[in-house]
Structure 1
Amino acid sequence: MRMLLRFSFLIAWCGPLIFTGCQTSPVAGGGAYHVTAYKPHDPSKVVVKVSLSKENIYVMEGDRCLMAVACSVGIPAKPTPRGHFTIYRKEEDKRSGSYGFRVQGDRVVPAEAGSNVAGRYVGYPMGFWCEFAPAYGFHQGFVHPTPRTHGCIRLHGEAAPKFYALVRVGTPVSI
């Protein structure tokens, strides 16, 4: 009996040490996502720089970084255009004209705009749209650690409205 009691005590004391490897812990940075953005002194001096390899966006005013955020960029089959551009159109509540779904009564069916799928087409939301090349722009969406878009540059929901406020039509973009 005494041996059983000691064994039970040993299991009770050592059990948590043995099974801690099964414990799940939160993903790094799993808390609220916060983006700091600073107002420019001169909005006409704001430029946007995008690093495709680092998947980062830098909104700059001279040497001063106004905002630096992670982004998602185009997959190899549909890459984000490289070069020097200008923001030439902004639309706060844009929806995709190419990718979305069809509504068929109570059903929702994924479909592209030109597909033969029946139903009313609804484009995926692309909030805070800032177009820099025809059909390519910065917009709100899920940000993944690997290229995931059809060429657009996606910003986190916390970052997109701040980016939208910092840039204006005519803002230079370097990718």
Structure 2
Amino acid sequence: MNTTTNNKKSTNLSLFRFFIICLLFIFLAFGANTYVNYNYNNKMNEFYSAFNKYDFDTAISIVNNTRESNILKRNQLNKDLNLYFTGIVNTVIKSIQSEEISDENIISLLYEIKKYDVLNDSLDKLIASLDSNYVYKPTSESTIENYSSIDDTKATDNDPEEDLSTNLIKDDSLSLGISSFNDKDYPTAISYFNKIPKSSLDDFNVAQDYILNCQKNYKTDLLADAEELIANKYYTDAIAFLSSYDTSILSSNDKDIANKINSVEMFRDEYNDHIQSYPNDNSAYASAAILQTITTDNINTLNIESPTPYLVYLSLTDQTTYIYEGSTNNWTLSKSFLSSTGLPGKETPKGIFSISGRDEWFFAQEFQQGGKYWVRFMGDYLFHSLPFNETQSTIVDETLGVPASHGCVRLEIEDSKWIYDNIDDGTKVIIN
């Protein structure tokens, strides 16, 4: 009896010590993060004060020391410098137009900014337009494609109607936007591109293309980071991460993000249900369903449930939809349908879903295509037949076996009808 009591006390004491150690680590991490942020903010305030007072030697010394001593803040430092100097350059451009500051003083200031290696081509272009001794050499293809050479720009001096400072102001938003885009600072890039008026048609069209690329690249990076969290089973963190995306870049009701969040929520619930049912067996599930290819050899080792007697598995690698029949750990491959999923940039979402709704026909005006015998597995994503024209008389694309769709899953007509007729709402769908 005494031995049992002592063992319990020892266990409780160990748990208490573990709890205290965890709290200590959390406290230390929080304290370290607070100190790093506090120190960084102080240094930046010192830098702003020095640069604003034209104490350039002190200013650049502060930045160089911060770069060397605070590795964790290097990305933040570059963003802050980019934003700060962008504001100064905008002020400089206005001063050029109003002739409030001499060209000599402006050039001196711009050369100081150049020492920080920010703004890149946009800064070089501005310096070259003011300093005849400076040779402008674009460093990116995008800049070369979208801007005339410095010689061509200076040629406008021959036209008394054309003012170089006016050209600089017109071009500057595009130039700074491209620089921010190349630095992957998409919010700043979009803010510059949105300043370009429609009256400058060529620049406006270029800016609109860049805005689309900002949105595409940001979404790609966002989903990739979320996938990394998902792969490590941080489902709640992935949902929070996706839910807090920057709505200045993507719409607040972006369909792809909403669909991804829905997918992660379903997979999290699936995982939690499994852990509750099999508390000592999370290792098997960790590599199950979405994290590995499902085959007839392993499907009955993954504890996959479905509310109906059917389970739908779509292999993106095989471009094949597999229909399993049975129940948990007793699934038998019943049918397989050659399929076509989404093209690059319009990929069919990965995840765990369920069938929810169906109809015999739809037509998408946007793509001038429709499909027969569709069933929904998430949002606007469907299993449906090969695409038809609006009159349902002609198949407009017979491609199967390779990605070809706008995100839905295309099937032979008879295969889509079989799913329409036999797979009930609620049936689980796994796509990977």
TM-score by length of 2: 0.25
Within-5 A mapping of 1:51-66: 51-62=315-326, 63-66=331-334
Following superposition, the deviation at residue 58 of structure 1 comes to 0.6
Counterpart of 2:335, as a letter, is M
Following superposition, the deviation at residue 97 of structure 1 comes to 5.1
The answer to whether the 8 A contact 1:143-1:155 is kept is no
**After the TM superposition, which parts of structure 1 deviate over 6 Å for at least 4 consecutive aligned residues?**
none
Q: Separation in 1 of the partners of 2:420 and 2:399?
A: 17
Partner of 2:377: 132
Q: Separation in 2 of the partners of 1:45 and 1:97?
A: 36
- For structure 2, list consecutive stretches of 5 or more residues without a partner in the other structure: 1-306, 387-397
- Per-residue CA deviations over 1:2-38 (Å, capped at 9, x if unaligned) read xxxxxxxxxxxxxxxxxxxxxxxxxxxxxxxxxxxxx
- Per-residue CA deviations over 1:124-168 (Å, capped at 9, x if unaligned) read 221111111111110000342321111100001221111212211
Work out which of the two has the higher radius of gyration on C-alpha atoms and give 1 or 2. Answer: 2
The answer to whether the 8 A contact 1:50-1:56 is kept is yes
- For structure 1, list consecutive stretches of 5 or more residues without a partner in the other structure: 1-42, 101-123
Q: Separation in 2 of the partners of 1:171 and 1:136?
A: 15
Q: Separation in 2 of the partners of 1:52 and 1:144?
A: 12
Question: Are the structure 2 counterparts of residues 98 and 87 from structure 1 closer, same or farther at C-alpha, using a change threshold of 3 Å?
Answer: farther
Partner of 1:96: 364
Q: Separation in 1 of the partners of 2:399 and 2:313?
A: 17
2:413 pairs with 1:168: no
TM-score by length of 1: 0.59
* CA root-mean-square deviation: 1.6
Q: Percent identity?
A: 31
The answer to whether the 8 A contact 1:143-1:156 is kept is no
Q: Which has a greater percent of helix?
A: 2
2:336 pairs with 1:68: yes
Partner of 1:45: 309
Counterpart of 1:53, as a letter, is T
Partner of 1:11: none
The answer to whether the 8 A contact 2:375-2:420 is kept is yes
Q: Which has a greater percent of strand?
A: 1
Tell me the secondary structure at the aligned position of residue 421 of structure 2. helix
Q: How many residues align?
A: 110
Counterpart of 1:168, as a letter, is D
Counterpart of 2:322, as a letter, is Y
Q: Separation in 2 of the partners of 1:174 and 1:84?
A: 5
